[in-house]
Structure 1
Amino acid sequence: MADEQWSAAVRLLWGPPAAPARGPKRGLTLQGIAEAGVRIADAEGLAGVSMQGVAGELAVTKMALYRYVPGKAELVSLMVEAAMPEPPLLDAAGEGGEGWRRRLGRWARELHAGFRAHPWLLEATVGARVMGPRETGWMERALAALDGCGLSGAEAMDAVVLLSGHVRGIAEQERAMGAGASGGPDAQLVTALDLVMREHGERYPALMAALASAAAHGGQDQALEFGLERILDGLGLLMAGR
C-alpha cells in the first residue's frame, strides 16, 4: 500500500520533468508549481496551501494543476524540495582528525538557517514520506562527514538523527515564539519567568540562581550552539573510545 501511495511522489521528485496528464497546457512546470506553493506557505503557513490556492497563484484552473500534480501531498513534497537549501559542500580534503566536527557543525547551522527561512518546513518534513534529491542530499552529506570516524552505519545514522532533532527543536521554539518577537527564545522565556519569579522565586531557588547568573554573565540564546557542541563532544568521546 505504501508503495502505491508514494509512487506518484517518487515519479514527481525523481523522474524526468512531467508533462500534463492529459491535454496540452503550456506554461506550467513542476518547479513553477512548487514555487507558487512555497510563496503561499511562506505567507500563510502550510495550512494555507491548497490546490485551489496554488492554481489561483498561477492564474490557471484547479483542473489544469491536477494535470501535473495529483494532490496536495505530492504538492507539499515538491514544495519541500524547492524550499530546502542546497546541502553544504563539506570537503574533507586536507582536514585533520577533528574535521568531522567542523563539517557537522556547519551542516547543523545551515540546516537551522533553512528552517528559519521557511518555518513551515518543520511541519512538512515529519512522518513517513518520500524525500527528494535535495533533502536526501542533506543526509548524504552528514553521513559522509562521519566517514572514517570509526562509527558503524547505524551509529552514524543515529548521530545524524540526533543532530537534526536538536536543530529542529530549537527551530520549533523559535517558530512558536514568533519571528517578530523581540529577543531570542531564551530571552523571551526569561522575561516570562521573571514575572513569576518576582512573586514565587523562593519556591524555586535553583531556577532563581540560574536566572541571576544568566542575567549577570550573559550566555542567553545560545541553546543551538550549546547543544550542538555537547552532541559533538559526545560523538568525539565515542570515537576516541574506539
Structure 2
Amino acid sequence: MPAPTTLELLWGTPDRPRRGPKPSLTLERIVGEAVELADTEGLGNLSMARLAERVGCAKMALYRYVPGRTELTALMLDAALGAPPKVEPAQADSPEPWRSYLPIWTETIYEQVRIHPWANELATGIRPMGPNELGWVDGALSVLADTGLTIAEQFDTVVLLLSHARAVAMQTTVPLGDDSAEEQMARELGAVLTAQAERFPHAVAAFAATMGGTPEPGAGNALAFGIDRILDGLGALIAARRESA
C-alpha cells in the first residue's frame, strides 16, 4: 500500500494500519504530541526519533502513520491553527459584517501564532493547505462577499490582515525558556536610549512612549492599530465603490 500524500493526510485519510489488532497509536495523537514538542522545545528539535521517544514507540512505527517530517509538519500547522472563529448571527446580519468580524479573526490568528511561534516558519511558500487553514481563508472571505470588492481584492485583504498578525506576533514572541527576556531587553535598551537621546531623538521618544513609565493612550498595541487602519482604508474603498456604482 503506497504511503499517503500530505493532502490525503490533511483531508482525512483514515489512520493506518487498517488490518490486524487495533493500533496503539493514532495520527491525531502523533500530531498532538509533535505540536507539544515544538511548543516546548522548538521546531528545530523536532525529529521522528524524538517524537517516537515521546509517544513511546519505535521510530519506524511512526512511518506507518506519517511518511516523514514534511507531512508531519503540514499536519502540525493545520492542527495548531485550529478552527477559525465563527461568524455570529448578529455579525452576519449587520450592514458591515466585515468590520466586526475581521478584527476578531485577525486577533485570533495572532494569538495562535503567539502560542505556536513555529507556525510562522511553516506557513510560507507554495504548499498543501488543510481544512483548518482553508477554513480561516473562507471565513474571512465570507464577510467580504457583498462589499463590492473584486474577488482578488477580497483575497488581498485576507493576505494583508494575515501578514499583519503574523508580523506582530513575530516581534512580540518571547524566546523559549526565557520569560524574563522582554523585561531584560527593556532595561538594557532603556540605558542605550538615554545615552543616545540627542542622536536619535524621534526614535527615543517613540520607544519612551511604549516602554515603561506612563504610556500614551493606545501605545504598544501595534496589532489593534494596524487592524483599524487597514479596515479604515478598506471601508473608504468600499464606500467609493458604492458611490461610483
Fold-level match, TM-score > 0.5? Answer: yes
Quote the Cα distance in structure 2 between the aligned partners of 1:212 and 1:48: 37
Asked if 2 retains the 8 angstrom alpha-carbon contact of 1:21 and 1:68, the reply is no
Relative to structure 1, the CA distance from residue 104 to residue 160 in structure 2 (aligned partners, 3 Å threshold; closer, same or farther) is same
* Partner deviation per Cα, 1:57-86 (whole Å, 9 max, x = no partner): 111111111111111000111112222221
How far 1:119 moved relative to its partner?
1.5
The code of the aligned residue for 2:222 comes to A
Quote the Cα distance in structure 2 between the aligned partners of 1:30 and 1:162: 33
1:232 equivalent in structure 2:
231
**Among candidates 155, 158, 161, match of residue 160 of structure 1:** 158
1:126 equivalent in structure 2:
124
- Structure 2 alignment gaps of length 5 or more: none
Tell me which moved more, 91-100 or 27-36: 91-100
**Among candidates 203, 207, 211, match of residue 207 of structure 1:** 203
2:37 matches 1:26: no
Asked if 1 retains the 8 angstrom alpha-carbon contact of 2:38 and 2:45, the reply is yes
**1:15-54 map, 5 Å:** 15-20=12-17, 26-54=23-51
Asked if 1 retains the 8 angstrom alpha-carbon contact of 2:174 and 2:182, the reply is no
1:223 equivalent in structure 2:
222
Between the two proteins, the alignment pairs up a number of residues equal to 233
**Among candidates 59, 79, 84, match of residue 82 of structure 1:** 79
Structure with more helix by fraction: 1
1:110 equivalent in structure 2:
108
How far 1:217 moved relative to its partner?
4.6
Tell me the secondary structure at the aligned position of residue 103 of structure 2.
helix
- Considering only aligned residues, what root-mean-square deviation do their CA atoms show, in Å? 2.5
Tell me the secondary structure at the aligned position of residue 180 of structure 1.
coil
Asked if 2 retains the 8 angstrom alpha-carbon contact of 1:14 and 1:133, the reply is yes
Asked if 1 retains the 8 angstrom alpha-carbon contact of 2:141 and 2:158, the reply is yes
The code of the aligned residue for 2:237 comes to L
TM-score by length of 1: 0.86
Tell me the secondary structure at the aligned position of residue 203 of structure 1.
coil
How far 1:183 moved relative to its partner?
5.8
Tell me the secondary structure at the aligned position of residue 20 of structure 1.
coil
Asked if 2 retains the 8 angstrom alpha-carbon contact of 1:92 and 1:99, the reply is no
Quote the Cα distance in structure 2 between the aligned partners of 1:112 and 1:144: 20
Quote the Cα distance in structure 2 between the aligned partners of 1:205 and 1:55: 54
- Structure 1 alignment gaps of length 5 or more: 1-6
TM-score by length of 2: 0.85
1:171 equivalent in structure 2:
169
Identity of aligned residues (%): 42
